[in-house]
């Protein structure tokens, strides 16, 4: 902030007709009636004026600080209203179709009760409406954005902030692909420009849901960590603090499997902590009973982090905040 400056111009050209006038009287007269020839004058503020000046500066600073945050929040509210409207229309038009597709391809969805299925579908449609799906050498199908969005919602279903706002684009390729200078072809990856999937491998992962290998959940886990740990866009302060708690257990186990290995998590989880996190998410959802039996402390930490327990009928550990549900209900 530039330094404030105050220019004080003192220009006194008082002409007194009586040269014998008392100097004290002259001074008092000059203070009461500024001379007509003084063309600019600024008084130095007294203690009260300084206090007011500082108060004004503080208020201006607060306004300048909060205005961008307020503007961002207004933008988010307007965006959310638009997304709710779009998702509501999709819900009206294709509810039965989408419900059938989710039940066909998503084992997680099939196990939900009717109320949670409705909630899950609402979130999926809002997520899908917010993202741009780009199809590279593959024909566009309605089920593709729906099922990819559902993978994100499965992971974030227990969280209040589930949109992964940092990522606006999801790229879909027909099968495994080369990326960068890597020799091994990719099934999916996450970078700062978007989330990428091999559609063939995505479908296979949900078709073989109990094998503990799911590229959809794996890459969405990377995206969730990216949003909340590496970036400050669309994150969740509650998730961040819980991730710190999760890592107190997670890093200890990660360091242990780097030395001893682990039958459940496998060797790929020992590559680095990011892969340990993503592999743990896959096992948590696809093999929860084995996970809880073999790594009970890590399983409990994951339940707390994601606010859901796949082995519990209630599913959620704590209630989640719902506002989109009210929008759908009002319009139904």
pLDDT digits (tens, 9 = 90+) for 185-233: 999 999 999 999 999 999 999 999 999 999 999 999 999 999 988 765 5
Alpha helices in the chain (DSSP H): 23-32, 47-105, 107-110, 114-130, 143-156, 199-207, 215-225, 237-260, 273-286, 288-294, 296-306, 324-331
Structure confidence at residue 66 (pLDDT): 59
Which carries the bigger pLDDT value, residue 320 or residue 301? 301
What does DSSP assign to residue 211?
A: G
At 15-24, the pLDDT tens digits run 334 433 444 3
- Rounded CA-CA distance 189/299 in Å is 25
- Rounded CA-CA distance 197/148 in Å is 9
Model-level pTM? 0.75
Lowest-confidence region among 59-73, 111-125, 126-140: 59-73
**String of b and e for 243-276 (b: at least 16 CB within 10 Å)?**
beebbebbeebbeebbeeebebbeeebbeebebb
Task: Give the whole-number percent of the chain exceeding pLDDT 70.
Answer: 74
What's the chain's average pLDDT?
82
Structure confidence at residue 302 (pLDDT): 98
CA angle at 193 for the pair 268 and 225, rounded to the nearest 5°: 45
What does DSSP assign to residue 163?
A: S
Q: Looking up tokens 């960068």, which residue turns up?
A: 180
| CA distance readout (Å), 238 to 141, 228, 242, 263, 291 | 36, 10, 6, 32, 24
Position 117 pLDDT exceeds 50: yes
pLDDT classification of 315: cutoffs 50, 70, 90: very high
Asked if 310 contacts 288 with a C-beta cutoff of 8 angstroms, the reply is yes
Structure confidence at residue 21 (pLDDT): 44
Structure confidence at residue 129 (pLDDT): 93
| Burial bucket for residue 218 (CB in 10 Å: 0-12, 13-18, 19+) | buried
pLDDT classification of 41: cutoffs 50, 70, 90: very low
Q: End-to-end CA distance of the chain: give it in Å, rounded.
A: 53
Asked if 156 contacts 119 with a C-beta cutoff of 8 angstroms, the reply is no
Structure confidence at residue 17 (pLDDT): 41
Q: Decide: helix, strand or coil at residue 171.
A: strand
- Rounded CA-CA distance 245/247 in Å is 5
Domains detected in the chain: 64-331 (3.40.390.10)
pLDDT classification of 265: cutoffs 50, 70, 90: very high
Q: Decide: helix, strand or coil at residue 155.
A: helix
What does DSSP assign to residue 186?
A: B
At 235-254, the pLDDT tens digits run 678 899 999 999 999 999 99
Structure confidence at residue 59 (pLDDT): 77
- Rounded CA-CA distance 231/237 in Å is 12
- Rounded CA-CA distance 299/261 in Å is 17
What does DSSP assign to residue 183?
A: S
């Amino acid at each position: 902030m530039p330094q404030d400056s105050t220019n004080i111009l003192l220009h006194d050209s008082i002409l007194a007709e009586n040269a014998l006038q008392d100097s004290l009287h002259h001074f008092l007269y000059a203070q009461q009636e500024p001379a007509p020839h003084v063309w600019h004058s600024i008084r130095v503020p007294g203690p009260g004026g300084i206090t007011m000046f500082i108060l004004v500066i503080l208020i201006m600073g607060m306004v300048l600080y909060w205005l961008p945050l307020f503007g961002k929040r207004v933008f988010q509210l307007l965006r959310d209203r638009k997304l709710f409207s779009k998702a509501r229309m999709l819900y009206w038009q294709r509810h039965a179709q989408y419900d059938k597709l989710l039940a066909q391809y998503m084992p997680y969805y099939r196990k939900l009760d009717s109320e949670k299925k409705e909630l899950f579908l609402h979130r999926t449609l809002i997520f899908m409406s917010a993202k741009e799906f780009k199809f590279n050498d593959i024909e566009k199908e309605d089920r593709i954005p729906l099922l990819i969005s559902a993978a994100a919602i499965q992971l974030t279903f227990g969280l209040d902030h589930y949109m992964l706002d940092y990522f606006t684009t999801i790229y879909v390729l027909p099968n495994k692909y080369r990326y960068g200078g890597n020799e091994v072809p990719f099934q999916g990856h996450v970078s700062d420009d978007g989330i990428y999937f091999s559609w063939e491998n995505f479908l296979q992962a949900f078709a073989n849901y109990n094998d503990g290998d799911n590229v959809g959940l794996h890459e969405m886990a990377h995206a969730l960590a990216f949003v909340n740990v590496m970036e400050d866009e669309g994150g969740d302060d509650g998730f961040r603090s819980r991730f710190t708690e999760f890592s107190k257990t997670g890093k200890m186990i990660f360091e242990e499997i780097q030395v001893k290995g682990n039958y459940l998590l496998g060797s790929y989880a020992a590559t680095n902590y990011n892969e340990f996190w993503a592999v743990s998410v896959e096992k948590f959802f696809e093999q929860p009973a084995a996970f809880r039996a073999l790594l009970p402390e890590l399983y409990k930490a994951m339940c707390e982090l994601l606010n859901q327990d796949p082995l519990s009928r209630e599913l959620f550990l704590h209630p989640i905040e719902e506002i989109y549900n009210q929008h759908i209900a009002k319009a139904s």
